[in-house]
Chain A
Amino acid sequence: MPEFVDILNAIVLFSNFVLVPAISYGAQLALGALGVTLVYSILRFSNFAHGDLMAFGTMLVILITWGFQSMGISFGFLPTALLALPFGIVGAIAFSLALDKSVYKFYRLKKSPPVIFVIVSTGVMFMTNAIVRFIIGPTDQRFMDGTKFIFRPREFKEFTGLSEGLALKSTQVLTVTITLIAVTALFYFLKKTRTGKAMRAFSDNEDLALLSGINPDRVVFITWIIVAALATTAGTLYGLDKSFKPFTYFMLLLPMFAAAIVGGIGSPIGAVVGGFVIAFSEVIVTYAYKKFFIYLMPPALEPTSLMQFLSTDYKFAVSFIILVVVLLIRPTGIFKGQST
């Protein structure tokens, strides 16, 4: 039997490298997947430009953050980007509404099939991608300021006396807090308010909703506002936690789609759960458990290899294997979404 301290050490190790990172990554994916799922259920297409909308909103936030920093404005121990976030959201909303009016509306009125929307959204993806690269450049940007850690591994070790350290970054706490607030507000809005109910009715049955006097333009308008706000928030949190790079945001599209589909596309609660499912599986499958088992196993049974299922380079592949498996055995996802 391993000693009690070893069990504690194993738990701390696991929390530090799997639990905490996966929770914050999951929260970021959940916010992104919520946007994908809302566009899908109201506007009825898979938006391939969503990753780039995130990049666009985040870029605005970064630019405004730099502006604030040069003016000497800061947000105390919190990152300045949080002050800039509302302005970035407004910009992203304006951008989305302009895109809807100039691009998507035409096909909506024509009642084009979803495939056409997918192709058109890849066109939007190209253009947004170009705008972002043009303005802020294709390289990595870090814009995190304020306090970086709530506690560092060393402080944790000194405090608890364990040999394993646990780090808790302020961005991780921020991510989870803001996601909680955003998701609660969104669910309250969808379930309790008149407009939210109209949106759900529109999503369930468009013709019936129109007959009941729901104004489709208003529903679309509100949807883009929510989607742009969620995308910018998700992008900013991801950028604060890691860093901002246009190409990475484009690539985030894949796990976000996976999260939305695994959870059940069209279902908001599914998107949140899907985000965590994808994040946890990516981290769990690519973590090397060697040290973890050394703590738990008697010395004779200690593992010699890294005890890693897949190398970290396969992170993206993991989300897609899950996606494909879900599509095969339960195409409607965990929470029954729209399947046709």
Chain B
Amino acid sequence: MHNLLNQKYRAPLAFAAMGLLLMAVGMGQSWPFALAILNLCIISAIMSLGVNIQWGYAGLLNLGVMGFTALGGMAAVLVSEAPVLEAWSVGGQGMVVSFILVVITIILSILVYRNMAASWQRRVTLSLLYIGAFFVINHFYEPAVRAIESVNPATSGFLGGMGMPIIFSWILGGIMAAGVAWVVGKITLGLRSDYLAIATLGISEIIIAVLKNEDWLVRGVKNVAGLERPVPYELDLQATPWFMDMIASLFSGRLSVLTEVEGAAALNDLIIQGSSIFVKLCYTGLFTIVLVAVLWLSTKALNSPWGRMMRAIRDNEEAANAMGKNVVRQHLQVFVLGSAVVGIAGAMLVTLDGQFTPTSYQPLRFTFLVWLMVIVGGSGNNLGAAFGGFFIWFMWIEAEPLSIAFMDLVTMGMDQASDLRNHLVKSAPHFRLFIMGLVLLLTMRFMPRGIIPEETRLHSV
């Protein structure tokens, strides 16, 4: 028994158990449902790996995960939507001018910052610069926004994207998240750990606020739906000869015992079901490639001299600093890398959903849940973090039907029409938040290193 819990066997055992759980859902509920959970499990695992790079490797408490996820999602829209040429012609010029002015303002403020001594004069100069820039930029920006948003407001009203295959957004999402993370990191890293948490939490709220309100960018709360898919559509598949033949030959045994009419009807059902499973499997394949790549790269990095340095910084900042390691720069690097991974996962999520809805980004779901994944899975261990992504997402989905079933059981003896019973059954879905909190507290208390803990490395000299 002791051997079973040994470090070496934990990861394979944990993942095998996870596989069994998903199979149980497939057989007990339905296969498309199990695959839907699996796909989101993979995306969650990638997010969790991103946060693990920041927290597990370097001990950075980033509570802005939601913001970077949303940036990745925005990239999916910007890549795949067709450009709205009319909007560009009426407002593009104003937007470009405002953008150039913003860049000029930033350059000017850096110049002022570098060339003036830290004093009240510098603060006043900078404040005046910003106030002046605000009014000048607004002069170009506001009319442009109004013009863009009035182009077919019901269906477009934004600048559109690049009209490229959505899969490129996985790259752009990573790059955009990395870029924003660089700016955010420049500002907030170096703050004490819990200030960093509060600041990143706030910045992620600002990112969501911008996405909700800047309609010219990605339509704001009007959402963007019907994004191009990287995989075939179910309806197209159902009319494709090779797919119909494949299903027919797969189930030829079962179909041959039926009469012709029954057989045709049964085949039709199988094709409809099969197309849904096939599409989900395509996503699973694509996501698995990304997951394996991220997992492989992060394991490589963690075991390299770079990873050793990061752990040294995490475990004792002063000592690492004294050894000549630039702690702030390494923190920035790791913050950017981790955020890029989260951005990639965010783009994948929107690709899977086929729509971008800024209001769906809520801190409980996109920041704190991801944290739970890392901590429960095992911070500092890539396999652990990935497993946490699978396990917690599975729990998050299955906790709802389970708590409803539990409530039904508890209230069985009560009168069907009683108010208390109705209230309890109706409120059951909130139980999953409770379960998540409880899991976090229990893990922190009794298993602070997670289900698959970080390896204790003992190097002989």
Contacts of B440 in A (CB 8 A): 119-120, 122-123, 126
- Flag if A115 contacts B205 (CB, 8 Å): no
Given A45-B194, A46-B194, A119-B375, also A127-B199 (CB < 8 A): no
Given A120-B444, A317-B209, also A126-B437 (CB < 8 A): yes
Judge whether A130 is part of the interface by a CB distance below 8 angstroms: yes
Judge whether A89 is part of the interface by a CB distance below 8 angstroms: no
In the complex, what distance in Å separates the CA atom of A317 from the CA atom of B371? 23
Q: Return A266 CB to nearest CB of chain B, in Å.
A: 12
- Flag if B437 contacts A324 (CB, 8 Å): no
Judge whether B438 is part of the interface by a CB distance below 8 angstroms: yes
Judge whether B114 is part of the interface by a CB distance below 8 angstroms: no
In the complex, what distance in Å separates the CA atom of A291 from the CA atom of B388? 55
Judge whether B195 is part of the interface by a CB distance below 8 angstroms: yes
- Flag if A134 contacts B441 (CB, 8 Å): no
Judge whether B224 is part of the interface by a CB distance below 8 angstroms: no
Given A127-B437, A127-B438, A314-B213, also A305-B142 (CB < 8 A): yes
Q: Return A258 CB to nearest CB of chain B, in Å.
A: 7
Q: Return B138 CB to nearest CB of chain A, in Å.
A: 9
Residue of B61, B194, B199, B434 with most partner-chain A CB within 10 A:
B194
Judge whether A316 is part of the interface by a CB distance below 8 angstroms: yes
Main secondary structure of the interface of A (DSSP, over half): helix
Judge whether A114 is part of the interface by a CB distance below 8 angstroms: yes
Give which listed residue, A106, A115, A130, contacts B433 with CB less than 8 A: A130
Which of the four size classes fits the interface of chain B? 35 or more
In the complex, what distance in Å separates the CA atom of A22 from the CA atom of B195? 26
User: Which residue of chain A has its CB nearest to the CB of B441?
Assistant: A123
- Flag if A254 contacts B201 (CB, 8 Å): yes
In the complex, what distance in Å separates the CA atom of A254 from the CA atom of B59? 23
Q: Return A16 CB to nearest CB of chain B, in Å.
A: 25
Judge whether B401 is part of the interface by a CB distance below 8 angstroms: no
Contacts of A254 in B (CB 8 A): 198, 201-202, 205
In the complex, what distance in Å separates the CA atom of A130 from the CA atom of B439? 13
In the complex, what distance in Å separates the CA atom of A340 from the CA atom of B190? 12
In the complex, what distance in Å separates the CA atom of A20 from the CA atom of B188? 34
Judge whether B187 is part of the interface by a CB distance below 8 angstroms: yes
Sampled A-B contacts (28; CB under 8 Å)? A45-B194, A46-B197, A48-B197, A115-B59, A116-B444, A118-B193, A119-B375, A123-B440, A124-B441, A126-B433, A126-B434, A126-B437, A126-B440, A127-B441, A129-B437, A133-B427, A137-B426, A138-B430, A254-B198, A261-B195, A305-B142, A314-B209, A316-B205, A317-B210, A324-B187, A324-B202, A331-B195, A339-B192
